[in-house]
Amino acid sequence: MSTPLLEVRDLRKTYGERVVLDGLDLSVGAHEVVCLIGASGSGKSTLLRCVNLLESVDDGQVLLDGAEITDPRADPRDVRREIGVVFQAYNLFPHLTALDNCTLAPVRVHGVPRAEAVERARGLLDRFGLSAQADVHPDRLSGGQQQRVALVRALCTQPRLLLLDEITAALDPELVGDVLDLVRAEAEAGMTMLIATHEMAFAREVATRVAYLHRGRVLEQGPPAQVLSDPREEATRRFLRRVLPERPPSAPE
């Protein structure tokens, strides 16, 4: 069996007396798309932040391609060269144009020549329908455009793993579909992704696996059709009854 690209083993994280991750185990293979679902407070965002070393872990391990990145000797900067992340808040630098936001990390962190970084960024901005906004500052962009720029910025570093944390939560409903279409295209192109989402229809369509988090653990995981349509655990069924629209009653035969 091949080594998973990402492996989380018995991960524990607390804030004071509050246990957020309670011995969580999860693996993500190369080119897999794993969608994390669960109620607010179940640990989805904290898990992503621990994977990207934005939060320290209390116990357990995170391994990237078999190497433990939570080892205190690991350099977070080296880890973040391999992992891209997009949050629900766009976190763009307001004093930089869209293009400069996208080239900053490749040039400053990765040592990519500026001309090469600009060419790559312009290509991605064009692919994401943003070529006309390349020289525009974030305050002149719509929410959907800012989130697309944030996606381009993450992809410009050519990450091996992309983490997405509820990236449509702050968007107006009419903008959600455009952003999800872009993520779907990256999934079809083979990008390995770990996605925290509340969009169940999107998870059903794009995920190779859905993991339901409950009280800081992966309570249930499997193919989207199984987890979302025929969950084994009662807690999963209760959660889905709250977030999925009720099906209309069948017409009498």
Domain boundaries, the chain: 6-93+151-229
Helix (H) or strand (E) holding 144: helix 143-156
- One digit per residue, the tens of pLDDT, for the chain of length 253 reads 578 999 999 999 999 999 999 999 999 999 999 999 999 999 999 999 999 999 999 999 999 999 999 999 998 888 888 999 998 877 899 999 999 999 999 999 888 999 999 999 999 999 999 999 999 999 999 988 999 999 999 999 999 999 999 988 877 887 788 888 889 999 999 999 999 999 999 999 999 999 999 999 999 999 999 999 999 999 999 999 999 876 544 444 4
- 6-93+151-229 adopts what CATH topology? Rossmann fold (3.40.50)
pLDDT of residue 63: 96
Helix (H) or strand (E) holding 59: strand 59-64
CB burial of residue 85 (10 Å; 0-12, 13-18, 19+)? buried
pLDDT of residue 246: 62
pLDDT of residue 126: 95
Place of tokens 């989380």: 8
Backbone angles phi, psi at 133, to 5 degrees: -105, 10
CB burial of residue 23 (10 Å; 0-12, 13-18, 19+)? middle
Give the predicted TM-score (pTM) of the model.
Answer: 0.91
pLDDT of residue 117: 96
